[in-house]
Structure 1
């Protein structure tokens, strides 16, 4: 329950920041062109609001709604989700959105996306400045990777070290690496000390989405970081730095292989082979009912040699912009898989997004995820779907190019169609969260 609350709080705080910044972009550009903004709300307020405030001599009512599904600004004279047909039936006023030139209206609609991108760039810059960029080069992962079933079918073997996708050197493991591998004709790996070239077949990404097991994970040796007082590891005399290499005579070069053997010997005594200061030791030790010994193992960043890139305050901004652009490129490259059967079944709603946040409050993790969600929000909002900013932009570009303005009746129908489509997608995505929660 505590983990759920921490993730939920992070999700709500993150989305609140993103919505306020996005809507502020629309608001500030509308006011710049002397367009009246009637409402600026965080969350939706059907029937009632939790908070309302209208400053003296201001046309705008600021507030917080009770339904945490984004937020909005109500711009006078604009066909939007408010569907204010009564206002649109009145004569056009000079302070209304519809009275302004197409170029100004276009800038108002693009501003929300622009502000989300600028926010992402700024957050990434400050993350790099505050916490630096520490990563684990793939070439330093001497024990290689553990691969999923779909990756095994593609020719990868546990212990392979990823080197190249076609002629591109693979430096760090992440989404970009997976996209490079999935799109390559040849992938070079280091296997048993020798370079091996694998010929890739089409469909690797689709198979990964279908199996939902991921692509690969780092192989990490079972090295004791800290024993738990009173548990079997402490009683048997294991100490930090001990490297476990075998259980009951079965070689266990990685932590996951050790856990698999222990899991088959729950509530039993086993013999443990481990190295201490280069000397092989053997002890008997009890396995508990959970298949564990009672110690914390060293993580990959403690076992393998990492690289840290440090940035000064001014250096962090171009680096943050590059990072934000790369995140956007990665997300756009993945987006095409949404239209596959496996991709559609992997869609998730607020539950899936919330699970992306750390289980324990971590400011670096929170800000990194907020920046990434800001990139996603910018991209999704610029899609040419009526009811999204991109739908308004699409019709405005048509007006700029043809010098013909779509009729208000057409725009109303398009807005309704877009809202129905988006509501369907929201219900489907969150429904998939429920299905996965029930049948996991």
Structure 2
């Protein structure tokens, strides 16, 4: 129950930040160009609002439907041009037609209207840059250079199904060098031609849509640097504990099988279950031999070290950034996130990859949030969603910001005013399409709970 509450609060806070910043973009440019904003709403408010208050000439409120928000800009539609509204000035109220025309959206130049409509997208991009820059400034970055993977990569069962083998060293993905291990799994998912060094032999793993389908079906693709089998911890009263195995022991062999890497241990133990096993260890440069009878489950009771615990073997690059440096790298990261989202979006249209299974509504967002409050993860997700919101709103679909941007650009190019009836009908169709997509996303999220 507490886990659900924490996830729900994080989700609502994340959505609130994204919506407020997006609508603030429209609001700020409207105010800059002296266009009257009638309403500023966090979340939608069909039938009723949770809270509203008029401050100055604008009503600010909170709706009950957390699917977005809006600002109502005066004169956004050219209909009812003679409608009057009371606007408060220093010397009182004015409701003359001239005053109204000066504060109407459609009485402003095309460039000003373009900036007002684009304001939400611009502010979402800036928010993403601000978040990633702040995270880099506060936490810095720890990266593992790909050329420091001296033993290659360990793949999960899915990776092996696709065509990889433990120990493979990735040289190129789509003929591009991937400088850091942190980016490899993502680049594999988005790539097609992976060039690898397999025990000195150069081979190519070609990812077809069928292989990508396997990744999207499983929803997880785990890779990690291959490491030697060094014990990190021994479970108390376990078989390993009774046999005298200790932390920092390196396992050299089990029976007649030489052990070079951690990923070999599980298979060797399984093969020797219900048998007497002899284990050869390297303990502080001394050879230690011990024997014990392995149970029928093939479980000995040890935890092996991961690459994170082996900074004596793997050389990590630790970066701390100045304010200017964090802004520069935060901007780069923002657009790298956007690039990856666009590449993922392309995969959605290849039905065979089944990438569409990864799409979802705010329920999917909630699932990505940690069950315990973690500000770093929260802000990474918020920054990622902010640039995604900017990208989606740029689509030239009527009723989205991109639809209005398209109409204004056409007006600038043709030097002709687009019919108000055409814009109105297009917006209605666009709204129906967007609403239908959102409805399908919610239903899809609910179905995934039961079927995936």
- SS of corresponding position for 2:180: coil
Q: Which stretch has the larger CA shift, 410-419 or 343-352?
A: 343-352
Q: Give a deviation string over 1:156-180, Cα, whole Å, max 9, x none.
A: 2232121223543222245676447
Structure 2: 5+ residue stretches without partners: 85-96
Which residue of the partner structure matches residue 241 of structure 1?
248
Which residue of the partner structure matches residue 284 of structure 2?
277
Q: Which stretch has the larger CA shift, 423-432 or 12-21?
A: 423-432
- SS of corresponding position for 2:368: coil
Matched ranges for 1:146-161 at <5 A: 146-147=154-155, 152=160, 155-161=163-169
Q: Which stretch has the larger CA shift, 22-31 or 361-370?
A: 361-370
8 Å contact from structure 2 (residues 213, 355) kept in 1: no
Which residue of the partner structure matches residue 207 of structure 1?
213
Which residue of the partner structure matches residue 134 of structure 2?
126
Q: Give a deviation string over 1:350-375, Cα, whole Å, max 9, x none.
A: 22222223343222222122111111
Q: Which stretch has the larger CA shift, 297-306 or 273-282?
A: 273-282
Structure 2 CA distance for aligned equivalents of residues 362 and 288 of structure 1: 40
Which residue of the partner structure matches residue 82 of structure 1?
none
1:437 and 2:435 are equivalent in the alignment: no
1:392 and 2:404 are equivalent in the alignment: yes
Which residue of the partner structure matches residue 367 of structure 1?
379
Which residue of the partner structure matches residue 114 of structure 2?
106
Q: Give a deviation string over 1:253-304, Cα, whole Å, max 9, x none.
A: 66666567889999x8986846543545546488799x97766654432234
Q: Which stretch has the larger CA shift, 97-106 or 230-239?
A: 230-239
Q: Give a deviation string over 1:185-213, Cα, whole Å, max 9, x none.
A: 5x332323x14231636537743455435
Q: Which has the larger radius of gyration?
A: 2
Matched ranges for 1:67-146 at <5 A: 67-79=65-77, 90=83, 93-94=100-101, 95-146=103-154
What is the root-mean-square deviation of aligned Cα atoms in Å?
3.6
Q: Give a deviation string over 1:316-345, Cα, whole Å, max 9, x none.
A: 111111111222222222221122222323
Structure 1: 5+ residue stretches without partners: 80-84
Q: Which stretch has the larger CA shift, 354-363 or 63-72?
A: 354-363
Which residue of the partner structure matches residue 14 of structure 1?
14
Structure 2 CA distance for aligned equivalents of residues 360 and 247 of structure 1: 40
Alignment TM-score, normalising by the size of structure 1: 0.83
- SS of corresponding position for 1:169: coil
1:378 and 1:271, CA in 2 relative to 1: closer, same or farther beyond 3 A?
farther
8 Å contact from structure 1 (residues 42, 63) kept in 2: yes
Alignment TM-score, normalising by the size of structure 2: 0.81
1:188 and 2:188 are equivalent in the alignment: no
Which residue of the partner structure matches residue 47 of structure 1?
47
8 Å contact from structure 2 (residues 234, 247) kept in 1: yes
- SS of corresponding position for 2:50: strand
- SS of corresponding position for 1:355: helix
8 Å contact from structure 1 (residues 227, 295) kept in 2: yes
Structure 1 CA distance for aligned equivalents of residues 40 and 266 of structure 2: 54
